[in-house]
Amino acid sequence: MADQQKSKQNLTDRKPCLSGRGVTKVFGVGNKAMTAVDHVDFDFNEGDFVSIVGESGSGKTTLSKMLLGLISVTEGEIEFQGKPRDISSGAKRKEYWKNIQPIFQDPFASYNMFYKIDAVLDDCLNMRGFKSAPEEEKVRLKTEACSFVNLKYAELTNKYPFELSGGQMQRLMIARIFLLKPKILMADEPTSMIDACSRATILDMLLKLRDEVNMTVIFITHDIGLAYYISDKVYIMEHGKFVESGPAETVIINPQADYTKRLINDVPKIYEKWDLDTVARN
Amino acid sequence: MGKVMLEVNHLKTKYVTRFHEDVYAVDDVSLKIEEGKSLGIAGESGCGKSTLALSLIGYYFAPLHYMSGDIIVDGVKISAMKPDEVRKKILGNEVAYIPQAAMNALNPTMKIIRFIEDVMKAHNIKMTKKEVYDMARERFADLGLPEDVLNKHAVELSGGMKQRTVIAISTILSPKVLIADEPSSALDVTSQKMVIRMMRELMEKGYIKSMIFITHELPLLYNVTDDIMVMYAGQIVERGTAKEMVFDPIHPYSKGLMGSIIVPESGVRDHKLTAIPGTPPNLKNPPKGCRFADRCKYATPTCSALAPDMKEFDNGRTYRCLMSVRKIREVYENGGSAEVETEFD
């Protein structure tokens, strides 16, 4: 945990990596308009482990899709490395995606079932310009990536995705990130389909990515316990707005907003009493 | 000691695959639940938790096959009955089951009240529509569900509301045992808490007499159930009260599981999460010795040769390991390093 303390100290003097001012997303028009993300401001610095926490429907995933450039921003500006982000053309968007990569919630839906898993890793190598590299070099890189996530490449090669377990699939997604080494990793609920035991392994790997590759990790979750354990900075999201943000220790142990208090209250506890009567019956 | 509601003795069930291979998903499981008690079953994906739940309700339709053992629900031996007979006489009346994707169990074209009428029809209970409606309304009100839910379609309800509706429907005949398989895994924390609160009310108001709660969320089990049972590779490896299991696990696997608990409470950040390396064994041909031997950091060559039996200690706690409790505690205290020589007695 010394690393975490160290990282906490120089939270302020890191370079900004991704920041947004008044970022808004409205779905629909006229009287059917629905504001999913409502004028949010944020600053994610290089090497930060940031969590965005909120319940279902609070706009977490919409925000992540905007940051990834998968959907357009209705209003507001997103800055990438201090300059306004430009993804107006296909080529520019591709260039941007070299810097930001996602891991999604459902590992079973992240693979093309018709391709062997080698194809996933080969794609990454091609993207990084190893297309014409000798075969041994490719295998070496792929083996290195697999061993980073405690998988054995020799056991995985020539297999189809459905032959792996959910935990293995999600780890392979992280191996993919390790190969690509983007500046930012957008992890959208990467552990919610994984059981508690493999979850620890996945979290460790995300921390390792941050520490070894100095990646900025944006971790989206509804589990405030996870966010507390893993992140430097926490943003709490309610109905498309950030109601509270700050270092994890301050926000979770000393919550100010009622919404944060309720979220923390609703998570089952083991050291303190968990009061069931505080939740509404209907 | 209360009346025993559900008793399972040495239950063995298997799956038969398309290639006629046997997968021994539940292997020699024994358990007992008394009236008014709840039991939690924990374990990682693929350890046989859901198969155990299906086996307990006598759902022996291909590919699941019954092999041996007894299931006794309040004195009635359901393992000797035919699956169809179990479905007609036992399911709903005596044992209720909430599947993992209960939220998707509601037919979108039917109003909620129709499901309750269906339950009555399936169990040959003669009631007029008016009577059914009155009974359902009373039960729903008692459980804190709004009355207008009865006249809605499933699509009009939120996820948490759907889940609670399914629970209310499946317990409408006041079964003796409720088997809930991950009832809250797909919900956010607030809806989850509402579901848990409702399940506790079901117990307190006597609509259900006992409950089996299956989940991999250990902090949840700790708060909901009296006892916790840890399952690994089709076998029970440890059973104890919730408190004992979370703060004083004995079996190395339980220890690993409890080490993966994350809660938003001060001091948690200083803990190191323990992850258990490796994957569970293939149950097509389970290992001869201890099933956990490959992944256990305290394992010795004897472990992979000799299969441990369930042993009892203290007051009714059981565990499945070759080491004695005293030895295990010693090993854990010495920093749990693998260098500590493990002995057998």
**In chain A, where are the structural domains located?**
2-99+184-278, 115-181
Q: What is the pLDDT of residue B345?
A: 41
Residues of A in contact with B281 (CB under 8 A): none
State phi, psi for B52 to the nearest 5 degrees: -60, -40
Q: Name the amino acid, one letter, at A127.
A: M
Q: Residues with Cβ < 8 Å from B95, sequence gap 6 or more? A: B6, B56, B57, B58, B73, B78, B175, B176, B177, B178, B179
CA B53, B54, B56 angle in degrees (round to 5)?
Answer: 65
Mean pLDDT across B136-149:
91
Closest CA to A42 of A70, A63, A72: A63
Q: What is the pLDDT of residue B17?
A: 86
Spatial strand order of the sheet with B317-320 comes to B95-98, B177-181, B210-214, B38-42, B227-232, B235-241, B317-320, B310-313
- pLDDT > 60? residue B337: no
State the nearest Cα–Cα gap between B259 and chain A, in angstroms: 9
Q: What is the pLDDT of residue B109?
A: 92
CB contact under 8 A, B269 and A229: yes
Residue A103, pLDDT score: 92
Tokens of residue A214, six digits? 């100095």
Which of B189, B257, B264 lies closest to A197 in CB terms?
Answer: B257
Instruction: Determine the Cα–Cα distance for residues B133 and A224; give it in Å rounded to an integer.
Output: 41
B264 residue type, one letter: P
DSSP string, B274-315: P---S-PPPTTS--SS-TTTTT-TT--GGGGTSPPPEEEETT
- Amino acid at the residue B25: A
Q: Residue A272: list chain B partners with CB under 8 A.
A: 265
- If you count them, how many residues does chain B have? 345
Which uninterrupted H or E stretch holds A80?
strand A75-80
Is the pLDDT at B333 greater than 90? The verdict is: no
- Triad B125, B128, B129: Cα angle to 5°: 110
Tokens 């506890």 map to which residue? A269
Rg (CA), chain B: 21
Residue B152 sits at the chain A interface (C-beta within 8 Å): no
The neighbouring-strand residues paired with A26 are: A35
Separate counts of helices (H) and strands (E) for chain B:
10, 12
β strands within chain B, DSSP E: 4-16, 22-34, 38-42, 64-73, 76-77, 95-98, 177-181, 210-214, 227-232, 235-241, 310-313, 317-320
Residue-wise pLDDT for B19-53, tens only, equals: 888 999 898 899 999 999 999 999 888 888 889 99
Shortest distance between the Cα of A14 and any Cα of chain B, in A, equals 22
Ordered per-residue pLDDT tens for chain A, 282 residues? 445 555 445 555 678 889 999 999 999 888 888 999 999 999 999 889 999 998 888 899 899 999 999 999 999 999 998 889 988 899 999 889 989 999 988 888 889 889 998 898 998 898 888 888 899 999 999 999 998 888 888 888 888 988 888 888 888 999 999 998 899 999 998 888 777 777 888 888 888 888 888 899 999 988 888 888 889 999 999 999 999 999 998 998 889 999 998 888 888 888 877 887 777 776
Contact A197 B188 (CB under 8 A): no
| Chain position carrying tokens 């695959």 | B17
The interface pTM score, or ipTM, of the predicted complex is 0.76
Tell me the per-residue pLDDT of B69-93, one tens digit each, with 9 for 90 and over: 999 998 889 888 888 888 888 888 8
Asked whether residue B137 carries a pLDDT value surpassing 90, the answer given is: yes
| pLDDT score recorded for residue B1 | 66
* B275/A276 touch (CB, cutoff 8 Å), yes or no: no
CATH code: domain A2-99+184-278 is 3.40.50.300
